[in-house]
A and B are shown apart, each in its own frame.
Chain A
Amino acid sequence: MRAVLATAAVLVAGPAVLWQATDGLRAFTTEGARRVAVAAAPRPLPAATLQDQDGRPLGIGDYAGTVVLVDFIYTRCPTVCTRLTDTMREVAAALPADSLGRRVHLLSISFDAANDTPEALRDYAAAQGADPRSWRFARMPDADEQAALLKAFGIVAVPDGMGGYVHNAAVHVVDAEGRLAAVHDFDDVAGIVAGLEGRS
């Protein structure tokens, strides 16, 4: 009888532990886990002073009252950042003209502050045809603030050994209260636009 009880207890407790550890079998990876967590509860973001492509200080708090789409890139990235930037451009094109730059802004943040100077960001923005009134490019000059902001967003950038980075890519929605409220796949233009309709 004791053996049956012990085995039954393990058979109940084991799956329960794994259920809890995977958010109900919904998230097996860190990337999946942060999406589930953000969807369940918007995440406050730490204050951080960014520097935009014109060298001016900029904070996510400056966008209070509007929705901001945020992506994390570095301008020398030959792969996923290019696709991310394409997505931002496509979302911008799909938004109503009276929304973009008023109720919705775009912000591309570089985590490669050493290489992405304001000049490099300005060149990159120009190459993308970004309208500076609605889409800013910025870097994080303070290393501690960068670490805190990346951690809050759940961005991990790993040096690739060739001078670049491998990083998780997504489009993040920061709501009017300045909280991280949603994380979208980096190529899900339709999903991002649909998600914005309920917020802006």
Chain B
Amino acid sequence: MSAPTAPLAVAGALLATLALPPVARPLEASMAGHMAVQIPLLVLCGVIAFAAVPAAARRRLAAWDPRGLAGLGVALTAMAFWMLPRSLDAALTEPHMEIAKFVTVPLLWGLPLAWSWSRLGLIGRGFVAAHLVGLAWVLGWFYLNAPARLCSNYLLDQQHDLGRAFLAYGTAAAVAALVRLLGGAPRPVGAGALEWDRKHVLGNH
């Protein structure tokens, strides 16, 4: 069965829109617009595009990365790179870094993240979710309290705005995870428990 092409079209359209100077410049004018809006939307481009990856390619990928750990490593590396203040500054001042951002964030962050999420079990997903929530809170606190500017191109006030945005994101993600946990199907008691664990906890696809 061929993969749907609609997600690719949607991801491409979103990416093209984000790359338009009248859209990109205002977003990049503020630190929160850059880090808390533009980059997450670029990640979303990759996540959406993943739905267009054909089944045959997924099978080949699964042979190399059955539990999504390698993909998770790629996504976390890309995330760490683009969290560096110097990377953010460079994207504003060096055209090749701006292009690199628009290419690598969807391809090396969004797409591998979606892949890994599809392969991870409950433990893996819980680890990723807890990591991201914790990271958002720690970074939020850090940006709100750091006495010096971290990015040469942004003001301290903008850094504080980003801190508040990260705290809000972390809180929203924590609430969403909690709702999901409370609203999900409970682990069955008795004979079905092991099968449930295999499917949900271990992520045995």
Chain B residues within an 8 Å CB radius of A11: 73
Q: Of the 9-residue stretches A24-32, A39-47, A135-143, A175-183, which lies at the interface with chain B?
A: A24-32
The 8 Å CB contact of B64, one of A2, A17, A18, is A2
Chain A residues whose C-beta falls within 8 Å of the C-beta of B70 in the assembled complex: 3, 6-7, 9-10
Interface of B is mostly: helix
**Residue B197 interfacial (CB < 8 Å):** no
Contact A28 B84, CB 8 Å, known A156-B152, A166-B156: yes
Is the CB of A144 closer than 8 A to any CB of chain B? no
Q: Does A82 contact B (CB under 8 A)?
A: no
Residue B81 at the A interface, CB < 8 A?
Answer: yes
* Best-surrounded residue of B69, B73, B89, B155 (most CB of chain A within 10 A): B73
Given A3-B64, A6-B64, A6-B65, are A29 and B73 neighbors across the interface (CB < 8 Å)? no
Number of interface residues of B (CB under 8 A): 27
State which size class the interface on A falls in.
20 to 34
- Asked if residues A168 and B152 are in contact (CB atoms below 8 Å), the reply is yes
A96 at the interface (CB under 8 A from B): no
Q: List 5 A-B contacts (CB under 8 A).
A: A3-B65, A7-B70, A11-B73, A156-B89, A161-B155
On A, residues with C-beta under 8 Å from B are 2-3, 5-7, 9-11, 13-15, 17-18, 21-22, 27-33, 156, 158, 160-161, 166, 168
